[in-house]
A and B are shown apart, each in its own frame.
Chain A
Amino acid sequence: METSVGVGLGEIAVSQNCEEILVAFGLGSCVGIGAYDPVKGIAGLLHAVLPEPLNGSDLSSTKYVGNGIYKLFEEMISKGAVKERLIIRIAGGANMLTSPGLSKTFDIGTRNIAMALKVLENQRMKIVSQNVGGNTGRTFRIYVADGKMTIRMIGEKETVF
């Protein structure tokens, strides 16, 4: 029987249990980074909130995209995953506010995506697919059994991406 494992704000989940589904519910400006090692059947999901810390912030927090990606890979590798084999998909980074005068102020979604792309490029990790941007929230799921990654938007069906 499949069990959903919620991945909250700033959290990472790594699983090798093929009955589990890792889920980041309702990503708005947050960005989800999913990774899967098809040989070992290890899946990982990061729910990052902000692109980078400011001076004096907790640098070790996984709520930041850069540190979060580093920790995600570290945790997956510690369980036996091989970095070069990881299939990576990202979703989220919406601009939730479309009102004139507000949307520019809150461009955190775009900055989260840019940071994720930059960090993954620096780590020489290829992104297989992405479902990012726009003005709509998404729920991001990874099925540990086969590494399938899906998104669902409000009023829509779950789709593989």
Chain B
Amino acid sequence: MTELRSIFTDEFVNLLTKISKEGIENASKGFAGMLGKELTVKSSSAKLVKLLDIPKMLGGPEDETVAIYLKTEGGIAGQMMLVMPCEKAFGLVDMIMGEPIGTTTVLGKMEKSALQELGNITGTYFLNYVSDNTGRSVRPTPPAVMVDMCAAILDIVIATAGIENEEVLMFDAEFVQGDLCTEIQFWVIPDPQTILAYGAK
């Protein structure tokens, strides 16, 4: 089995960093457009992460968390996720629906649908950039919205990526929205086989 680390030349890391930074900037435009609010992208990076360390990247394992999750298919397979504490998701729903912050207190069908659309647009903006700059066709699956313990949600990423690998490449960023005073994590985890194939060229 080829380790991801073995193909990480300086040149390849620079390419990945550029794709992640500019792709995430593009994604943030989609996100901000959906909210109708200004958005700042903080700490955008591309890095190798040990799978078993992923749960330590967020808050407490039992914290009630909301995730909007998509898979990517086509020339670049992978996973994308927006992750945030539950109360911040309520705030996002309020912004999307044009309601005062504090209006939403539960995530019903309509609220989840709004978050799905947010995930869809953010993911599509990211993928459009990647597709334009790699020449590969890539499309997102319909998004899923999950509300559960933080650790339980992260199991999806870990189990999906961890079947064949101990480490994954992760593009991550924090979207900071002034009214929410919080960071919303945006993660992109390309399928390791995709990265290996791409890096070998």
Question: Given the interface contacts A8-B52, A58-B166, does A94 sit within 8 Å of B71 by beta carbon?
Answer: no
Chain A nearest CB from B177 CB (Å) reads: 25
Interchain CB contact under 8 A, B162 and A63? yes
A50 to B51: give the CA distance in the assembly, Å: 12
Chain A nearest CB from B42 CB (Å) reads: 26
A105 to B160: give the CA distance in the assembly, Å: 9
Interchain CB contact under 8 A, A101 and B151? no
Is the CB of B138 closer than 8 A to any CB of chain A?
no
Is the CB of B55 closer than 8 A to any CB of chain A?
yes
Interchain CB contact under 8 A, B166 and A154? no
Chain B 35-78 interface mask (CB, 8 Å, partner A; 1/0): 00000000000000001100100001110100001010000000
A56 to B3: give the CA distance in the assembly, Å: 11
Is the CB of A108 closer than 8 A to any CB of chain B?
yes
Give residues of chain A (91-113) contacting chain B, Cβ–Cβ below 8 Å.
Answer: 94, 96-102, 105-106, 108
Is the CB of A16 closer than 8 A to any CB of chain B?
no
Interchain CB contact under 8 A, A49 and B162? yes
Give residues of chain A (72-121) contacting chain B, Cβ–Cβ below 8 Å.
Answer: 94, 96-102, 105-106, 108
Main secondary structure of the interface of B (DSSP, over half): mixed
Interchain CB contact under 8 A, B159 and A50? yes
Give residues of chain B (155-190) contacting chain A, Cβ–Cβ below 8 Å.
Answer: 155-156, 158-160, 162-164, 166
A136 to B149: give the CA distance in the assembly, Å: 8
Is the CB of B22 closer than 8 A to any CB of chain A?
no
Interchain CB contact under 8 A, B151 and A25? yes
Closest residue of chain B to A56 (Cβ to Cβ) is B1
> In the complex, which residues of chain B have a beta carbon less than 8 angstroms from the beta carbon of A54?
163-164
Give residues of chain B (104-163) contacting chain A, Cβ–Cβ below 8 Å.
Answer: 141-156, 158-160, 162-163
Closest residue of chain B to A55 (Cβ to Cβ) is B1
Interchain CB contact under 8 A, A96 and B149? no
Interchain CB contact under 8 A, B1 and A27? no
Interchain CB contact under 8 A, A27 and B152? yes
Interchain CB contact under 8 A, A50 and B151? no
Closest residue of chain B to A9 (Cβ to Cβ) is B52
Where the two chains meet, the residues of A that have a C-beta atom closer than 8 Å to any C-beta of B are 6, 8-10, 25-30, 49-50, 54, 56-58, 63, 94, 96-102, 105-106, 108, 136-139, 152, 154-155
What are the 3 tightest A-B residue pairs by CB atom distance, in nearest-first order?
A: A137-B152, A26-B151, A28-B155
